[in-house]
Amino acid sequence: MRIGLKKKKTTSGAASKLLAMAKKLSSKPTILFIFVSFMLFCAFLPVFAPLPSFSSHHSHRNTVNRKFEIANDRFWKDGEPFQIIGGDVHYFRVHPEYWEDRLLKAKALGLNTIQTYVPWNLHEPAPGKLVFEGFANIEAFLNLCHKHGLLVMIRPGPYICGEWDWGGFPGWFYSMNPTPKPRSSDPTYLQLVERWWGNLLPKFVPLLYENGGPIIMVQIENEYGSYGDDKEYLHHLITLARGHLGHDVILYTTDGGTRETLEKGTIRGDTIFSAVDFGTGEDPWPIFKLQKEFNAPGKSPPLSAEFYTGWLTHWGEKNAQTDADFTAAALEKILQKNGSAVLYMAHGGTNFGFYNGANTGVDEADYKPDLTSYDYDAPIRESGDVDNSKFNAIRRVIARYSSVPLPSIPSNNEKARYGPIHLQREAFVFDMFDFTNSTNVFKSETPMSMEYVGQLFGFVLYVTEYKAKRGGRILFIPKLHDRAQVFISCPSEESGARPTYIGTIERWLNNKVTLPDIKCHSKINLFILVENMGRVNYGSFIFDRKGILSSVYLDKEQVKGWKMFPIPLHNLNEMSTYNPITQVAYSAFSGISSFRKKLIYKNGNTSKEPAFYSGHFLIDKSSQVKDTFISFNNWGKGIVFVNDFNIGRYWPVK
């Protein structure tokens, strides 16, 4: 089933398919809720169940004769030499329903250790609001690792990078005055870190290996040598970690395998263990030799804490791929000489919600946001599938060096096709606001950032007015983060003054838009809908506020008198509460239709005006609930919610 629009050329990409996680459901409608920039086509819809409940209780045990340590340039577990053969699996990129599935597949790959980041912004989405349930139930994830005999290397930041929004830092930093300076000895920042780690690190104490748990190592910062050189800052983090975790657990840093990054990013000697990371194309042993210079004598077991099985992908790029046999052969070069390695990634997963990060090139305008997919060309695919050449090649290598026989390989999860779903437009975005008498509006002579108006993710609508000019006018925004759709309307027209789409401004193009000459008996309304495409997570340009960050110009004349309207679309792991922006999409199925009918502008099915669409379908039996995909072929750009769960962005034409 298709909704009429001319077919657009699409490019392939991991964002065109997102795996949906299925769980037991009743026979209630499943709702697909879509906020789009352009008109859409058909879809195959996934089903999400409520998150399972986990018990996070873990008794603190002072278990004797359990010890993980470093001596004679080897890792030792309970007095026996131990080779770390690990892999990254990020709990926040996998639906909790599938944590166990992914861990069992990691174990079947031959891994004995799981490494994971801890994103601060997921766990503290607002100042003082701590979340450790659902996707953020890290204790449950760690207990599952322990249940299946997997050790854990944990990376609590406070900075994680990880292609995650702002490297894990909370966006509300930007609403503070003064604004903290992350990754530094700035007192305001350190106070926030102390408060955050004061809530987080005590949760790890009963899970430390010497206390009977799975955690063998805890990372301090992440690749700091690629960013700064503040040893006082690193020492402060070490002291803070030791104060919460004690002196037995191994603390480590990870930096690129160069002298410069190691000099800046770690501390020589036995204060902390210095690990390295590098790609499959590099000779590991000269790097491990360099690593030894930064560790105390006998305290430098060769460890690649990030051995890259693939690579990240930005919007508009082809999916990153690395050869399976080449990757496996590079891993064997490490393992055959008793080196240790952690696969980055063993399983990539998905950047659900608005949490994808971004990178930059030569300057901050050279902006490259990451895909919703974080497949990473990892051996365990985004869907959880393991019947691929990379999984098999890596497993064959690990089997030759594993101290125990490898488990049998679990089968792929079953998938089902539920067919096309009719989508109904519920409301245009602009109909959600009373532009003349709104209480949810911020007013200022110049535009304000998204963070300043309390909208950390998603969209903000900027509204002003201007005088018409014969021949049209040129709109220019010197500093836009990140993508804006421009509309105009004439409020004096009898037609109802529907906003007309004029064009799109993108940060990476820094382009201008020509506003056409239209006849209007009053000033013309200017609407600029700005999308936060993900904060930069790596490099020198990570200070990345969102929205319109400069004055706006028409023909080099500054435009003043702005209204800012936040659009509160909830993010990953946020509990949905009533708000008129999203509630309209569900009103068609609740019997309350008068409000919806009032908002709908009936003008056929084609429009470039942003709108909300919804559709639903029924699954009669729990046995029919399977994994599935949403097809975004020939769609425009937008966000998908399924059963009130924010899957993330799609943009197949980019």
For residue 257, being part of any structural domain is answered with yes
The per-residue pLDDT for 5 is: 28
pLDDT tops 90 at residue 552? yes
Domain ranges, residue 574:
426-610
For residue 39, being part of any structural domain is answered with no
- For residue 491 the two structure tokens come to 């409020």
Q: Is 223 one of the catalytic residues? A: yes
Cα 650 from chain centroid? 14
- Regarding predicted confidence, which is higher, 608 or 366? 366
For residue 280, being part of any structural domain is answered with yes
pLDDT tops 80 at residue 643? yes
Q: Note whether 568 and 478 are same-domain residues.
A: yes
Q: Note whether 164 and 295 are same-domain residues.
A: yes
Q: Which amino acid, 258?
A: T
Give, in order, the Cα–Cα distances in Å from 345 to each of 91, 379, 451, 480, 615.
12, 8, 32, 33, 35
Q: Note whether 444 and 381 are same-domain residues.
A: no
Of the residues 139, 306, 382, 531, which is catalytic?
306
- pLDDT 10s digits, 224-247: 999 999 999 999 999 999 999 999
Q: Note whether 319 and 383 are same-domain residues.
A: yes
Q: Note whether 261 and 376 are same-domain residues.
A: yes
What 3-state DSSP class applies to 653? coil
- pLDDT 10s digits, 494-526: 555 789 999 999 999 999 999 999 888 889 999
For residue 642, being part of any structural domain is answered with no
Of the residues 163, 223, 426, 609, which is catalytic?
223
For residue 576, being part of any structural domain is answered with yes
The answer to whether the pTM exceeds 0.85 is yes
For residue 347, being part of any structural domain is answered with yes
For residue 44, being part of any structural domain is answered with no
Give the number of other CB atoms < 10 A from CB of residue 517.
12
Structural domain tally of the chain? 2
- pLDDT 10s digits, 404-463: 999 999 999 999 999 998 889 999 999 888 887 778 899 999 999 999 999 999 999 999
Percent of the chain with pLDDT over 70: 84
pLDDT tops 50 at residue 134? yes
pLDDT-wise least confident of 272-276, 468-472, 592-596: 592-596
Q: Is 69 one of the catalytic residues? A: no
Tell how strand 424-428 and strand 442-444 pair up.
unpaired
The per-residue pLDDT for 7 is: 31
pLDDT tops 60 at residue 198? yes
- pLDDT 10s digits, 590-628: 332 333 333 333 444 457 899 999 998 888 888 889 999
Name the strand (E) or helix (H) holding 465: strand 459-466
User: What is the pLDDT of the chain when averaged over all its residues?
Assistant: 87
For residue 472, being part of any structural domain is answered with yes
- pLDDT 10s digits, 561-598: 999 999 989 899 876 554 554 555 444 333 323 333 33
